[in-house]
Amino acid sequence: MSPQLLFQLHLVLGYVAWLLCFGTYAWPKLKLMDPFDAQRAIATLHSFRFFGLVFLLPGVVGSGLPASFAVFAAYGDFVTAVLAMLALLVVRVRALFWLFIVAFNVAGITDLVLDYYHAVQADLPARAGELGAMYVIPILYVPVLMITHGAAFYLLLRRQMRVVPGY
């Protein structure tokens, strides 16, 4: 099996496994939680996205990892992590909390979509070995991040529909 096919298979199976896990264990609980607490839980997970800066560490990832992918992915994750942490730091100021919740989700989903775009442009599946030990990030970590962004947006929209009179 080619490296490209293995990478793509791993990526698809990462989504399948996380969707099964999330749908069985996390989603039922998040839907029942107070929206504030559910968003705090999701923000806590995303506050660890600073880890994406590892794409910039020589020796951890290969020198052949395309900068067009690595730099954007690293800093996009970093910005998302900082925004998620800010949401967690301002929990007592609800208006700021909700502002940072929306900001980290918009930044985070934009980062992931653009990372996929850059990965395709750089033919990352053919260069998957350049990810080194960080191969686990796109295969295991990115799927759960994408899934939880979807959940966060759903919960935000559901909350908005409850707040708007007539719904």
pLDDT tens string, the chain, 167 residues long: the values are 898 999 999 999 999 999 999 999 999 999 999 999 999 999 999 999 999 999 999 899 999 999 999 999 999 999 999 999 999 999 999 999 999 999 999 999 999 999 999 999 999 999 999 999 999 999 999 999 999 999 999 999 986 676 556 55
In the block, residue with structure tokens 């998302």: 80
CA distance linking residue 128 with residue 14, whole number of Å: 15
Return the structure tokens found at 95.
Answer: 């208006």
Domain range list for the chain: 3-55+64-161
Of 156, 155, 145, nearest to 19 by C-alpha is 145
Partners of 61 in beta bridges: 58
Report the amino acid identity of residue 109. I
Task: For the chain, report the end-to-end CA distance as a whole number of angstroms.
Answer: 52
Return the structure tokens found at 65.
Answer: 């990892």
Rg of the chain, C-alpha, whole Å: 17
